[in-house]
Amino acid sequence: MKNISLIKNTVQEYAWGSFTAIAELLSNDSPSKTPQAELWMGAHPKAPSMVKCDGNWISLLELIEKNPDHILGKKVAEKFNNRLPYLFKVLAAAKPLSIQAHPSIDQAKQGFERENRQGIPLDAYNRNYKDDNHKPECICAMTFFWALNGFRKISGIVGLMEKICPQGLKKQLDTLRGQQSPIELKRFFQTLMTMNHEQQTKIIAHAVSNAKKFTDDDPAYKWMIDLHKEYPADIGVFSPILLNLICLEPGQAMFLPAGELHAYLDGVGIELMANSDNVLRGGLTPKYIDIPELLNVLNFEERKVNILETEQINECEWVYENHAEEFILSNIHVKEGIYNSSDHRSIEILLCSDGKATITDLGKNDKVVIDKGKSIIIPAVVKEYRIQGNAAFYKAAVPI
């Protein structure tokens, strides 16, 4: 594969997905018959993109295996063992996703090897580690996007908790107020997660009843009530109280490193991540939850969430501040101007989010017309290309 090519991508249908967002992006019938949660663009073995080559659709995974240097570029192929290192997604959350965290690269390697030795099948319900890779990720809002990301300041957690459950957790809150450290926060969180079901039920009922009195004070209480409606017996309803509650405006983005407890609550976004499927869950899900392993990977340092800065690198492209070696995300807008790519580039996937444009391989003068909802792959062997038209794109690439 040596040409700019259209790709066909898999839509993942999960219960929390939207009936309209992805359908409308792809110009399909809306509402869809089933909830559509994610559009995957990349070479993940679970659902690799299909590339149009000589009139036929061929798996991108297969094409990379046959000729990694041409598609990935020699440096990227060597660095990432002939694999596309990122997975590019459109994520459409109409309901909250599970509270979760991802392991570091060392934790992923150790966990994957350990579960292999234990003989746990890769598709088993109680499998934590599906591969040996970490999963840093970036989320960029296409609509207003509500999310949770990392633990709040401990003083903030104590203040919010005291209003809604002054008795059920009084002893633990008093200790946390007096010793505001990551160790005590871990103990407090572990107490919540491991108390017996009867205790959890009482504390949840008490806290949600009280939270209804304070919805005008802080949106965390409203989200707690909303989560309780979806998961009435799940201790994860406390997550908006414990974690930083964020609302990204369209175009804003944030980064989620290893070990940060997080959840996506509502909205449509572009997600770009390392090519992994390792998830440790902490609640708001019927899926497997392994509390000891979750506690092992979590970072209990209180943190402030930073909105990623963008840098305009030419007339048409804005690059988001990058914290990963596997991927980098940018926005491209062409209207009056013309976008000319760098001649120092790696494998790129472009998703057209609006409008219509022509993309030209400047070495061969081959042209591909692309419009809203369509995506293309531009292999590293294409030296330079040009975009002309009136369109907006999200671009995934490997920093080199």
Strands 145-151 and 243-248 turn out to be antiparallel
pLDDT of residue 55: 82
- Residue 166 confidence (pLDDT): 72
Tell me the pLDDT of the chain averaged across its residues. 95
Do 133 and 139 form a contact (C-beta atoms < 8 A)? no
Q: Which pLDDT band, with edges at 50, 70 and 90, does 202 fall under?
A: very high
Residue 284 pLDDT level (bands cut at 50, 70, 90): very high
The pLDDT, as a whole number, for residue 337 is 80
Contact call for residues 8 and 36 (beta carbons, < 8 A): no
pLDDT at residue 53 above 90?
no
The pLDDT value recorded for residue 150 is 97
Distance between CA 89 and CA 5 in Å, rounded?
Answer: 18
According to the model, what pLDDT value does residue 52 have?
Answer: 83
Continuous H helices in the chain: 21-25, 60-66, 68-72, 74-79, 105-117, 154-164, 170-178, 182-194, 197-211, 219-230, 239-242, 291-297
| Whole-number pLDDT of residue 78 | 96
Residue with tokens 């992805």: 22
Residue 71 structure tokens = 């598609």
pLDDT at 210 over 80: yes
User: What are the structural domains of the chain?
Assistant: 96-303 (1.10.441.10), 310-397 (2.60.120.10)
400: confidence class by pLDDT, cuts 50, 70, 90: confident
pLDDT digits (tens, 9 = 90+) for 146-162: 999 999 999 999 999 99
Q: 3-class DSSP state for residue 278?
A: coil
Which residues are CB-contacts of 181 (< 8 A; sequence separation ≥ 6)?
154
| Backbone conformation region of residue 93, classed left if phi is above 0, alpha if psi is from -120 to 50, else beta | beta
Q: For residue range 73-121, list pLDDT tens digits in order.
A: 999 999 999 999 999 999 999 999 999 999 999 999 999 999 999 999 9
Catalytic residue set: 281
